């Protein structure tokens, strides 16, 4: 069994999620950040790849105090569980995601064993796989500990692997009113292309702030 897995990501009109520097680019407008905050608050866990942690140093917490309060009233932790996919345990000790504002799980492989003790002082470490984190085993584990709604915030490399494993149920993509350009700028789905393009069904599409918010169901064949 696996959680319902949905991606939420902000893209430029030309499909880029950052520029060639790979540093965080503000693509979402205020309205979209509010939508993302609500989505986080209604998730059990939020997952990112180590590439995103190294580029953005995200905290992945719910920003709106009222939303955190509502979670607590509903018997949940203030913030969803944060999950980092990191085969070699490259996560910096001072990463914001390792602070005490939320429970954090760092998923690694046999390649990361040397740093496990160090990271375990700040987060839970789980080992799934030999070279790359076995995403299927990780999602089964998350389901076992009670995660039913898993939000994936990126980046493109992690999303590619999850798609290959047929793990993603839905894409929520906000298209900001900008073109970033650049052959080497990261995109919503990076890595190798698919021999047979992954098909999507449009769930909804609406103008939001200065951009467009779209929801897509993934149709696996
Ligand atoms: N606009 C937006 O909404 C967002 C933009 N971004 C942007 O995306 C970029 C980062 O994306 P990217 O570089 O692709 O990094 P990712 O966050 O996708 O992390 C990828 C890394 O995760 C590790 N990993 C471990 N196991 C797996 C596995 N099974 N499958 C895939 N990856 C695995 C790998 O490193 P290792 O082998 O060392 O473990 C891999 O290189 C940044 O520029 C960031 O700003 C990110 C999120 C949202
Ligand atoms: N929704 C959205 N819009 C953008 O324009 C973005 N750049 C991102 N980035 C994602 O948000 C993470 C930062 O989260 P915190 O504010 O630190 O909680 C970042 O790592 C990306 O995953 N998202």
What whole-number percentage of the chain has pLDDT above 70?
100
Residues with C-beta less than 6 Å from any ligand 1 atom: 9-10, 17-18, 22, 24, 27, 48-52, 55-56, 85-88, 90, 132-133, 135, 153-158, 161, 186, 190
Q: What is the atom index within ligand 2 of the atom nearest the CA of 27?
A: 5
Q: Is 27 in the pocket of ligand 2 (CB under 6 A)?
A: yes
Pick the ligand that lies closest to the CA of residue 129: 1
For the chain, give the mean pLDDT: 98
Q: Is 48 in the pocket of ligand 2 (CB under 6 A)?
A: yes
Taking residues 196-209, what's their average pLDDT?
98
Whole-number Å distance between alpha carbons of 171 and 202: 10
Pick the ligand that lies closest to the CA of residue 186: 1
Confidence (pLDDT) at 221: 85
Fold of 4-219: Dihydrofolate Reductase, subunit A (3.40.430)
Query: Using one digit for the tens of pLDDT, what is the confidence trace for 97-116?
Result: 999 999 999 999 999 999 99
**Predicted TM-score (pTM) of this structure:** 0.98
Taking residues 32-40, what's their average pLDDT?
98
In which region does residue 116 sit, left (phi positive, over 0), alpha (psi from -120 to 50) or beta (all else)?
Answer: alpha
Taking residues 163-170, what's their average pLDDT?
98
In which region does residue 209 sit, left (phi positive, over 0), alpha (psi from -120 to 50) or beta (all else)?
Answer: left
**Buried-state track 73-95, b at ≥16 Cβ within 10 A, e below 16:** eeeeeebbbbbbbbbebebeeeb
Confidence (pLDDT) at 156: 98
Pick the ligand that lies closest to the CA of residue 50: 1
Q: Is the peptide bond before 155 cis (omega within 30 degrees of 0)?
A: yes
Q: What is the atom index within ligand 2 of the atom nearest the CA of 32?
A: 1
Question: Is the pLDDT reported for residue 189 higher than 90?
Answer: yes
Taking residues 189-201, what's their average pLDDT?
97
The string of DSSP codes covering 93-137 is TT-GGGSTTS-EEEEE-GGGGGGHHHHHTTSEEEE--SSS--HHH
Query: Using one digit for the tens of pLDDT, what is the confidence trace for 56-75?
Result: 999 999 999 999 999 999 99
Question: From atom 36 of ligand 1, which residue's Cα is the shortest distance away?
Answer: 87
Query: Using one digit for the tens of pLDDT, what is the confidence trace for 119-166?
Result: 999 999 999 999 999 999 999 999 999 999 999 999 999 999 999 999
Contact 189, 154 (CB under 8 A): no
* Sheet with strand 104-108: strands edge to edge: 124-127, 104-108, 81-85, 45-49, 149-154, 4-11, 170-175, 211-219, 199-208
ipTM above 0.95, yes or no: yes
206-211 own/partner pairs: CB under 8 Å, 24+ apart: 208/29, 208/31, 208/32, 208/35, 208/174, 209/29, 209/30, 209/31, 209/32, 210/29, 210/176, 210/177, 211/27, 211/28, 211/29, 211/32, 211/174, 211/175, 211/176, 211/177
User: For residue 77, what are the contacts with CB-CB under 8 A and spacing of at least 6?
Assistant: 71, 102, 103
């Amino acid at each position: 069994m696996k959680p319902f897995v949905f991606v939420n990501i902000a893209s430029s009109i030309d499909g880029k999620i950052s520029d060639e520097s790979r540093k965080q680019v503000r693509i979402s407008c205020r309205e979209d950040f509010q939508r993302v905050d609500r989505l986080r608050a209604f998730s059990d866990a939020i997952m990112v790849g180590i590439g995103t942690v190294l580029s953005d140093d995200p905290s992945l917490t719910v920003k709106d105090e009222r939303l955190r309060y509502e979670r607590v009233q509903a018997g949940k932790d203030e913030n969803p569980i944060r999950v980092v996919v990191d085969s070699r345990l490259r996560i910096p000790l001072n990463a914001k995601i390792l602070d005490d504002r939320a429970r954090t799980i760092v998923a690694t492989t046999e390649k990361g064993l040397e740093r496990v003790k160090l990271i375990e002082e700040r987060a839970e470490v789980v080992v799934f796989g030999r070279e790359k984190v076995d995403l299927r085993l990780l999602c089964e584990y998350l389901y076992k500990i009670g995660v039913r709604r898993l939000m994936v915030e990126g980046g493109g490399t992690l999303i590619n692997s999850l798609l290959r494993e047929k793990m993603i149920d839905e894409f929520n993509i906000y298209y900001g009113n900008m073109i970033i350009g650049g052959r080497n700028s990261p995109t919503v789905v990076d890595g190798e292309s698919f021999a047979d393009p992954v098909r999507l069904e449009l769930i909804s599409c609406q103008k939001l702030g200065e951009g467009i918010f779209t929801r897509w169901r993934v149709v696996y064949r």
